[in-house]
Chain A
């Protein structure tokens, strides 16, 4: 066992001397972090600009735009039709609200009218959020218009001026808006409501998977140098060899994630000391599982090219299935496939810990899965190595 540790230390030393690997595993997280800071630093919750083309110019169109401007975090920017279309075409914008000509008139006369969302693809996450905000505002408008009309028709013939009716209804509606029957109260049970909390876990687990790519080369590199064969003539057993590589893999992954976690702690103030420690522990177990997987990849890779490709394909598949870049909707095929990605469990659990203030006790199922993967991975890699090497 001591030899396994010496091997691991040697591995770490080699890793520290390899400038490329070092840059890849240490600098990249820091750069990523800086980018995240640029994107999320100081910003809170949803923040977006809604691009609107008002081809109508009528009363209801104006009130819709005003309503949109009142939403927290939403800035409205008006565009001309041509400009909006051009920018959509250039992929400069993903989502634009078009208020077609005649919107106000039809709404007043027929009680219904159409809005148009022009979007690229699904409009992006921001577009989707804006879309549902706009739908909400439109629904409110529709309800208000309905109320005006009902009150007017009920009071028809009583001799009260329409203007007076409208003034009273407007006042009542405003009162009601200020004091809704169903109120939403936000309570934080831990963590913060910051958007960055949703991203840091994904980025963190993604970097653990990047470390896996380095790990996948662990055996082939040693084979290429000739040192693998030499090691096999010493007292180092294959079990110790794998265990040493395993510890080294955990060490590398841990250093990397520690940097990201510590930076998140310091800059975004995402943690309490307790949640920081819990995140560290959780990430450690996750890394233990991923490192075991990387050994499986290492033992099947016969050449360095093979190791690189297997590592990249596995990492990207795991990251995508794990919902790192986009939310995987429930019930979809991707969601089902995602159950096979270890990253899914890591992301879900880490989000719980960071954003919802959950404790390690709340994520025991994920931890058990990781321990299982680690054990199976270690045994499997050892068996595959014996079968593939034809040696012992």
Chain B
């Protein structure tokens, strides 16, 4: 498709012989929210790290916005924003300082960084706590800051790796609402989550990964119709159907 903003072809990556990503291919259209689902250890984070240019694939190709992630990573970095699965914050700095610092790192001027930081904190409902030290924040607040940092510099493509993990429904809903707003603005997003119902509502298409491979890829509706009446089955049913019920770790 000419409109494919992200093209991933036959991606492989092993760690000491263990195949974490084993032949993954998919595309994401501009303005699409693409869900990457899968049990623990499926290889979702590894895939995102390769796309975000922090990890080299053993083989395969990643093209983002027309730039190769391996050959021209610097060009890719200019258009992406990453919300990592693990919190990546300076706990000794304030919320505002964190956002401004990463804003400067993605190329904003001091003034722009401050402006965007305040706007993003407002979006996250953390305006009042802008000057508070992150170390003193609750888990949900830290998650929201982790998410807000990814928005700095208005990236064209967002990688959201379980942005809502381990927080209360209020914080989760808050982040969820923000992703909806981004979707409406036409943001392209690669989204991973273990909340199937979130993925169902947000994503235009989802890929289900297991053991480093994509075992199914379709619209949530399409996937649900594979095992029954799409109005009755949930994406979770599909997920369990595809990946089985055995524990992964």
Contact = CB atoms under 8 A, between A and B. Distances in A.
Contacts of A237: 74
Given A226-B86, A233-B53, A13 B93 contact: yes
Q: Is the interface of A mostly helix, strand, loop or mixed?
A: helix
A305 interface: no
Contacts of A3: 104-105
Nearest to A240: B105
B80 interface: yes
A226 B84 contact: yes
Contact of B88 (A17, A227, A235, A390): A227
A232 interface: yes
B26 interface: no
B105 A234 contact: yes
Given A10-B101, A391-B55, A227 B80 contact: no
Contact of B105 (A18, A236, A391, A392): A236
Given A10-B101, A230-B149, A225 B82 contact: no
Contacts of B84: 226, 229-230
B54 interface: yes
B214 to A, nearest CB: 23
Contacts, number: 69
The size bracket of the interface on B is: 20 to 34
Contacts of B194: none
B78 interface: yes
Interface residues of A, number: 23
A225 B149 CA distance: 15
Given A14-B90, A225-B89, A390-B56, A230 B104 contact: no
**Interface core residue of A14, A234, A237 (most chain B CB under 10 Å):** A234
Interface string B174-211: 00000000000000000000000000000000000000
B54 A227 contact: no
A230 B54 CA distance: 9
Interface string A10-22: 1001100110000
Nearest to B76: A233
Contact of B90 (A227, A232, A234, A236): A227
B107 interface: yes
Report, nearest first, the 3 A-B pairs whose CB atoms are least far apart: A226-B88, A234-B105, A230-B88
Interface of B: 49, 52-56, 73-74, 77-78, 80, 82, 84, 86-93, 97, 101-102, 104-107, 149
Given A10-B90, A226-B88, A230-B88, 15 more contacts: A3-B105, A6-B105, A10-B93, A13-B97, A14-B93, A225-B88, A225-B89, A225-B90, A226-B86, A227-B90, A231-B105, A234-B102, A235-B74, A235-B77, A391-B55
